[in-house]
Amino acid sequence: MSKWSETRLKDVAEIRFSNVDKKVNSVEVPVRLCNYMDVYSNGGYVTAELPFMEASATSAEAERFSVRMGDVIITKDSETPDDIGIPAVVVDDIPGLVCGYHLALIRPNREKIDPLYLAKQLGSKPTAIYFSKLANGSTRYGLSSSSIALTAIPLAPMPQQQRIAEILLTVDEAIEQTEALIAKQQQIKAGLMHDLFTRGVTPDGQLRPARAEAPHLYKESPLGWIPNGWKTELLDDIALRGSGHTPNRNQPAFWNGGIKWLSLADSWRLDRLYVSDTDKEISGLGIANSSAVLHPPGIVVLSRDAGIGKSAITTCSMAVSQHFMCWRCGPKLDNHFLYYWLQDHKREFENIATGTTIPTIGLRYFKRYRINVPDDIDEQKLIGEVLLSLDKTIFAEENQLAKLRAQKQGLMQDLLTGRVAVKVS
């Protein structure tokens, strides 16, 4: 770290704690307010495109807490001590913008420190650990002005600061572009699922014309208009439904026997199309001495309480707990078609759940559950293949996003400590 030094934040920046709230007072100056979530949720950058709320402030507050391009704003309060001091740098000139309550406005001395470099130092792991240790509170935590002022800042020479900022900005831009692409593809998927489950596809894989364009291709059903050649079926009539069970936890012989067992702890695994691993295992004795069933690969599982409406397809044999429903598909129903149908109706499951502590969907609901389905299994498979192809594209972008985020973390650890030197042209 030759030519590097360490300084305190107060020696390279001015720090102001805002007291401007969200209220509108007719005798005050109208302002746009930069709120907590504007800083916390936008990838470390405050831009002119954000939908800032309208508020008011006194003339003195509007002057003292006005936001300028190059300012760094951090969250000085949080519900947990390990999620505090989140920084964002202001990259645009935004007239009339004022820093709001629960935030600290930091104005760097640009002769000493680059604004983006400062924001990245404030977002580094050592600074996060420092903030978490000094955050005070019980139900809500806060950083004092002295804690923020005394934050240690590794200080590189200015040319290196600017180069480090450029490198990290480039990675952030790649992350933002990938996130935007994923969001767009998710929107396309949502719209496509709706079209596929209301219009179906022709044998060449193309959407049927909409009912408004070709009403003769459609008929009414208990679940709305569907294509001719489709019907509304009880799911129990075209797939074998199974519910789960938990073997006796006080019998060690029933557990850790190599049989994968999908439980409440695995709800997070249902965020992706397939589930292949579980947090816990049961034994053959656990199966034999309970209502648990060992299901073959390819069943469709649906969470009916925690993570309501999440679904997946299993890739290996496993049993499931009572927190899940599952269906074994066959010649009348393609499992990918069912999976995507359940995905498309996730909001319905969320709305039907009842209960206060843990909302749950009762078994009676699934006994009466109906879906619209093509008679032709090939059409079902085509619909599943179209959506599976789109999901593969989304998963590839999500994997790329994970790599970019890991790359960013590695670069921050290397560049912001001087562990790896940067060349300045």
Same domain, 11 and 128: yes
Same domain, 368 and 384: no
- pLDDT tens per residue, range 149-204: 999 999 999 999 999 999 999 999 999 999 999 999 999 999 999 999 999 999 98
- At 2 the pLDDT is 59
What's the pTM? 0.86
Same domain, 295 and 358: yes
- At 356 the pLDDT is 78
Same domain, 294 and 218: no
Domain finish residue from 341, 359, 374: 374
Same domain, 183 and 315: no
Residues 305, 311, 316, 317: what is their CA dihedral angle, to the nearest 10 degrees?
Answer: 40
Same domain, 287 and 214: no
d(CA 223, CA 328): 23
d(CA 10, CA 115): 14
Does residue 323 contact residue 280 with C-beta atoms inside 8 Å? no
Same domain, 363 and 400: no
Domain hosting 340: range is 230-374
What's the burial of 279, exposed, middle or buried (CB within 10 Å: 0-12/13-18/19+)? middle
d(CA 43, CA 41): 6
The 3-class SS string of 370-385 reads EEEEECCHHHHHHHHH
Alpha carbon separation from 337 to 63, 271, 298, 352 (Å, rounded):
59, 17, 12, 22
Average pLDDT, the chain: 95
Same domain, 10 and 147: yes
Supply 323's token pair.
């927190």
Domain finish residue from 355, 374, 393: 374
Classify each residue of 37-66 as buried b or exposed e, where b means 16 or more C-beta atoms within 10 Å of its C-beta.
ebbbeeebbbeeebebeebbbeeebbebbb
d(CA 248, CA 301): 22
Same domain, 210 and 249: no
Domain count, the chain: 3
Same domain, 352 and 253: yes
CATH code, domain with 354: 3.90.220.20
- Give me the residues of the chain with pLDDT under 50, please: 1
